[in-house]
């Protein structure tokens, strides 16, 4: 006898509303894993270095807000139960990243982006739309998005001051997790997006990074 619980559409809407609040309210996301930054030593950063690192971590935090919106929108409209469960699981893992980035931003004496609700709403709409088209498109969108995230993380890792081991530990673990999500999405049947679509996604991500670096 199956013990899997089946939720009504109304249940799922309420669950998504709760997930949105946990994503957007400060320190409301509870990570399942401790931050990789905890065992790393504190570093003496100049004021300029602190501002720059905080800006990079703010970008990554907003990226995780977008990931939550994307996964939650896809989970709401996915056709197959196993795809819905995979999206929910990925969103749970991304909560770790969200919390780690937020913790590091506040350690640096800065703040998360005030634009997060806007980017969350846009990402949720994109995810829900992709899920309505097909699960294959939805999974392909995950893979392409995670590829873009990995490129951002590689760039940010190259910009960190060498002494900032805390931020580096966070971004390196995020890089591993995001690459795994991309591979898993393709293995589950995701469509490999062509170059022009990936280029368009890259342009949109640049808008997000420029907008959230300071605000």
Calculate the average pLDDT of the chain.
86
Q: What is the per-residue burial (b if ≥16 Cβ within 10 Å, else e) of 169-185? A: bbbebbbebbeebbebb
- Report percent pLDDT > 70 for the chain: 87
81 in a known ligand binding site: no
> 114-139: per-residue pLDDT in tens?
999 999 999 899 888 888 888 888 88
180 is in an annotated binding site: no
Quote the pTM value. Answer: 0.86
- For residue 189, give the DSSP letter: T
pLDDT band at 23 (very low <50, low <70, confident <90, very high): confident
Per-residue confidence (pLDDT) for residue 190, from 0 to 100: 87
Residue 44 CB contacts under 8 Å (≥ 6 apart), including other chains: 163
Q: Which of 147, 31, 17, 139 has its CA nearest to residue 80?
A: 139
102 is in an annotated binding site: no
Residue 47 has pLDDT above 80, yes or no: yes
Residues 40-60, mean pLDDT to the nearest whole number:
96
Contacts (Cβ under 8 Å, ≥6 apart) of 39: none
pLDDT for 97 equals 93
pLDDT at 104: 97
Contacts of 41-45 with C-beta under 8 Å, sequence gap 24+, read 41/165, 41/166, 42/166, 43/161, 43/163, 43/164, 43/165, 43/166, 44/163, 45/108, 45/161, 45/163, 45/164
Report the distance separating Cα 77 and Cα 120, nearest Å: 16
152 labelled ligand-binding: no
- What would the two tokens of residue 64 be? 């995780």
Q: What is the pLDDT of residue 1?
A: 40
Residues 104-113 pLDDT 10s: 999 999 999 9
Coil, helix or strand for 205?
Answer: helix
Q: What is the pLDDT of residue 4?
A: 46
Q: Please tell me whether 181 is known to bind a ligand.
A: yes
| Fold adopted by 44-212 | Ferritin (1.20.1260)
pLDDT of residue 3: 45
Helix residue ranges per DSSP H, the chain: 9-24, 47-77, 81-107, 116-133, 135-159, 165-187, 195-212
pLDDT digit string, tens, across residues 169-212: 999 999 999 999 889 888 888 888 877 777 777 887 888 898 99
Average confidence (pLDDT) over 26-38: 84
Q: 178 a known binding residue?
A: yes
pLDDT of residue 87 exceeding 70, the answer is yes
| DSSP character at residue 50 | H
Statement: residue 36 has pLDDT above 90: yes
């Amino acid at each position: 006898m199956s013990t899997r619980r089946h939720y009504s559409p109304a249940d799922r809407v309420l669950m998504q509303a709760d997930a949105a609040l946990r994503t957007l309210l400060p320190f409301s996301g509870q990570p399942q894993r401790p931050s990789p930054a905890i065992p790393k030593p504190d570093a003496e950063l100049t004021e300029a270095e602190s501002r720059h690192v905080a800006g990079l971590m703010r970008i990554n935090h907003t990226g995780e807000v977008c990931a939550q919106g994307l996964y939650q929108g896809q989970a709401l409209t996915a056709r197959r139960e196993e795809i819905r469960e995979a999206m929910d699981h990925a969103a749970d893992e991304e909560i770790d990243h969200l919390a780690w980035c937020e913790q590091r931003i506040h350690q640096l004496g800065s703040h998360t982006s005030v634009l997060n609700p806007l980017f969350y709403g846009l990402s949720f709409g994109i995810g829900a739309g992709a899920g309505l088209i097909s699960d294959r498109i939805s999974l392909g969108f995950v893979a392409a998005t995670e590829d873009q995230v990995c490129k951002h993380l590689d760039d940010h890792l190259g910009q960190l001051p060498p002494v900032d081991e805390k931020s580096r530990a966070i971004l390196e673990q995020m890089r591993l997790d995001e690459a795994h999500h991309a591979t898993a999405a393709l293995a589950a049947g995701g469509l490999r997006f062509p170059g022009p679509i990936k280029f368009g996604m890259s342009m949109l991500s640049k808008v997000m990074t420029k907008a959230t670096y300071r605000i």
